[in-house]
Structure 1
Amino acid sequence: MGGGTVFGGTCGDKGVKAGIPGARHRFRAKIYRPFRAPPRAVPIPRRAHAPRPLPLRRRPLALHRLLRRSGPDRDSGERAKKAVDHGAAVRAAIERTSASSARVDERIELRSADSPTTYVFAIAGAFDLAGDRGRLTVELEDSGMDPVEEVFVGDTVYVRGSRAVDEGKWASADRSEALTRYFLRAPLNDPEYLLRQMKAMRQVSNEGKEQVNDATAVHYRGTIDHATATLRMTTETKRGLEDMREKLGDDVPVYADVWVDDEGRAVQARLSYFGGMKAMTTMTLSDFGTPVKAEAPSAGQVVPVTAGEDVLLA
């Protein structure tokens, strides 16, 4: 409009070109007598790189596309995709670890909501994760209790030092049927139970590189759901967690952390909960490929028991 198409007198120009004397002036006087002619607008040159404004009717669609490219839905989708990819990396690392043997060092820290005392269980030994065989020593720190020795052979766990049998005897329990009375503690201190829980991690994120066993490892963090957290738990303990879950209106928040080394193996795993009470289990794996000696004691030394009554056996 600033180019004079209407107010610049195009019709008058035609009269001049047609040879009509005073045509421009007569036209302007006739057209503009009731008004003051506005000043001629000077067109502002458009910058060559400036985008043309979108017609109004197209802007909602363009805005929708922009939100799809960079809005919260897009960001959430990217985060979800990354979480799925990291979860796959964790599962692959646990599978790789489970195909070997390793030295196991585990620390379990438990504190109830109404007590200032934290109980610490220390577990150490060697375990053939692929062959379901291992030998562990379990100790409750600062308790004055003697440690117990566990031997895993297939689906049977033999325990020496259990209060459930006479001195010098080995208690035996079915590994797959044993239950735990403690939150985030494996039945019979079974290291494969913890790895099974870690494989169910969800919402996994990459937290960067850290040092584990004096070597660099990638730290992955996620959560586990209620069913995984209460896996093979006694009815009494599970009932307490169900009550807590009902009060929260959601799953009890349990964090799961796994550290993966440069060879793609899970070298450390941790489950933790902090919310009035404290429960944290940390298992470190090292010396992969280490030989494992785990033989069942003679039948005359074995007394079958129901696992779960001894504090050192969970």
Structure 2
Amino acid sequence: MRYKGTKAGAIVVAAVTGSVVLAGCGDGSGSQVEGGGASPSASRSADAQEQGTTEVRAAYEKTAEAESARMTIKMNLAAAGKRITSDGEGVLDLATGDSVMTITAQDKTIEQRVVDQVLYQKVPGQNAPSGKPWIKIDLEKVAGQQGLSNQQIGDPAQTAAYAKAITDKDVTKVGTENVGGVSTTHYKVSVDVSKLPGGEQMSQQLGPTLPMQVWLDDEGRLRRQQIDLTVKAPASASAKPEGSASAQQLKMSTVMQFSDFGTEVNAEAPPADQVADMTDKALQGSRQQS
């Protein structure tokens, strides 16, 4: 059971870190609007929609300028008939994706770090089978097994690719809302998965669109983001007939909230002699369940 929970935690963290980039939508220029799809409403609505698209696409660059932030995460994960709900808080390096967090899930408090796309977890009072207090999982390898590229784990250099996947017809302004005492503008965003790097394979797992919601402050920075995913097992990873009841599906809803921009982040890997590498166990569990 510990391995299954750990693997699920790795998938959650991979998706959470990746969703920061997915919401990025900024290519650094802030001037081009890809696609130019016309709104079916009046000209004024079309102009407003184009402005909203520009703001959403520029959000990552503007948020990244702060270099770091404090964040909270609420996650709901359902897979193989089981549901995991977790809450986390900590700090995030917006340039590298490194983070230091405390996660509470299944009545356990987990000390967690992500350093160079490697997840480290420590449950107080528990050790890995090797007797070491920390376990680690290579998120890049896990994503590869799930059929997702490294770009879904949080490589800030790839934000331009996501920006190009969003057009005027993909962004809808919901209204203004207060988030953590800050006035924000709420947008619904639908990313065309086929336009992302590796989009053909991703479409088989995520479907044609990736639904997100973002709340931007007056400086255009992310204050809150919600992403809802249904991930199907890659066809190549399963010999079972398509559509069989045993086919693997992972449903996940993640809400992240950002504050205290510019806060200090000290994300360091634990000493190697205190860490047990559980990446292979996570990959084996993924293959068995698919």
Shorter-chain TM-score category?
0.5 to 0.7
Larger Rg: 1
Hey, what does 1:75 align to over in structure 2?
Answer: 40
Q: CA deviation at 1:265?
A: 0.8
**Residue type at the aligned position of 1:147:** T
Report 1:166-177 matches (<5 A): 166-177=130-141
Q: Matched residues in 2 for 1:285 and 1:244: separation?
A: 26
When residues 88 and 244 of structure 1 are mapped into structure 2, their CA distance, relative to the original with a 3 A threshold, is: closer
Indicate which of 24, 30, 52 corresponds to 1:86: 52
What's the counterpart of residue 56 of structure 1?
A: none
CA distance in 2, matches of 1:134, 1:305: 19
Q: What is the deviation of 1:111?
A: 4.5
- Please list, as runs of the form range in 1=range in 2, the aligned pairs for 1:179-258 lying within 5 A after superposition: 179=143, 200-202=165-167, 203-226=170-193, 242=204, 251=208, 254-258=210-214
Measured after TM superposition, the shift of residue 164 of structure 1 is 5.6
Q: How many aligned residue pairs are there? A: 217
Match of 2:90 in 1: 125
1:264 aligns to 2:231 (yes or no): no
Q: Map Cα deviations across residues 192-218 of structure 1 (whole Å, 9 max, x no partner).
A: 79x969755451122221111111101
Q: Deviations over 1:129-178 (max 9, x none)?
A: 124432012232xx34x332222223433222397654543223334333
Q: Deviations over 1:86-129 (max 9, x none)?
A: 232112121121232111111112346x96x8532212211121
Q: 1:220 to 1:172 in 2, by over 3 A?
A: same
2:91/2:265 contact within 8 Å kept: yes
- Verify the 8 A CA contact 1:211 1:217 in the aligned structure 2: yes
What TM-score do the two structures reach when normalised by structure 1? Answer: 0.54
For the pair 1:160 / 2:86, whether they are aligned, the reply is no
Structure 2, unaligned runs of 5 or more: 1-37, 231-249, 286-290
Distance change (3 Å), C-alpha of 1:231 and 1:167: farther
The structure richer in strand per residue is: 2
User: After superposition, where does 1:128-139 map in structure 2 within 5 Å?
Assistant: 128-139=93-104
Deviations along 1:220-239, whole A, 9 cap, x unmatched?
Answer: 1121234589989xx9xx7x
Cα distance in 2, alignment partners of residues 138 and 230 from structure 1: 31
The structure 2 residue matched to 1:288, chosen from 251, 261, 265, is 261
What residue number does 1:147 align with? 109
Among 90, 93, 105, the residue aligned to 2:72:
105
1:2-54 alpha-carbon deviations (Å, 9 max, x no partner): xxxxxxxxxxxxxxxxxxxxxxxxxxxxxxxxxxxxxxxxxxxxxxxxxxxxx
Q: Deviations over 1:46-78 (max 9, x none)?
A: xxxxxxxxxxxxxxxxxxxxxxxxxxx883695
Distance in 2, matches of 1:131 and 1:256, equals: 22
Q: 1:259 to 1:139 in 2, by over 3 A?
A: same
Unaligned runs of 5+ in 1: 1-72, 246-250
Relative contact order, higher structure (CA 8 A, sep 6+): 2
Identify the residue that residue 299 of structure 1 maps to in structure 2: 272
